[in-house]
Chains A and B, each alone.
Chain A
Amino acid sequence: MAAKVIANELFPDSTITLALFRNVENVKEIRQCVMNGTFEAAILKTSMIVDPFQVIVAANKAVHQNKVGKMMTKNVHSEILFNLSPSKNISDSFRKFGAGDTDQSVFIAVIDDKTGQTLQAIQNTVKGQQVDVDEVKQLSDLNNIKKIYKLTDAELSWSPLDALVTRIAAKDIMTI
Chain B
Amino acid sequence: MERVLIKQGAEGKLYSSEFYGKPCIVKERFTKSYRHPALDKSLTTQRMKAEARALLRCRMSGIECPALYMVDIESRCIIMERVLNSVTVREYTRTLQEKDDAKNLLSLAKQIGEVLGRLHSNNIIHGDLTTSNMLIKGYGENSRIILIDFGLSYFDSVAEDKGVDLYVLERAFLSTHPNTEALFQVILDTYKDNNKTGAEDVMKKLEEIRMRGRKRTMVG
Which residues of A line the B interface, CB within 8 A?
A: 6, 9-10, 53, 56-57, 60-61, 64, 68, 150, 152, 154-155, 158-159, 161-163, 165-167, 169-170, 172-174, 176
Contact = CB atoms under 8 A, between A and B. Distances in A.
Interface stretch (B48-56, B98-106, B160-168, B210-218): B48-56
Given A68-B74, A155-B59, A170 B68 contact: yes
B70 A57 contact: yes
Contact of B59 (A163, A172, A173): A163
B69 interface: yes
Contacts of A56: 20
A133 to B, nearest CB: 13
A169 B70 CA distance: 5
Contacts, number: 65
B74 A152 contact: no
Interface in B58-89: 59-60, 62, 64, 67-72, 74, 81
B53 A53 contact: no
A60 B19 CA distance: 10
Interface of B: 1, 18-20, 22, 49, 52-53, 55-57, 59-60, 62, 64, 67-72, 74, 81
- Per DSSP, are chain A's interface residues mostly helix, strand or loop, or mixed? helix
Given A9-B20, A53-B22, A165 B68 contact: yes
A152 B62 contact: yes
Given A53-B20, A159-B67, A173-B71, 5 more contacts: A56-B20, A60-B20, A64-B70, A68-B74, A173-B52
B60 A152 contact: yes
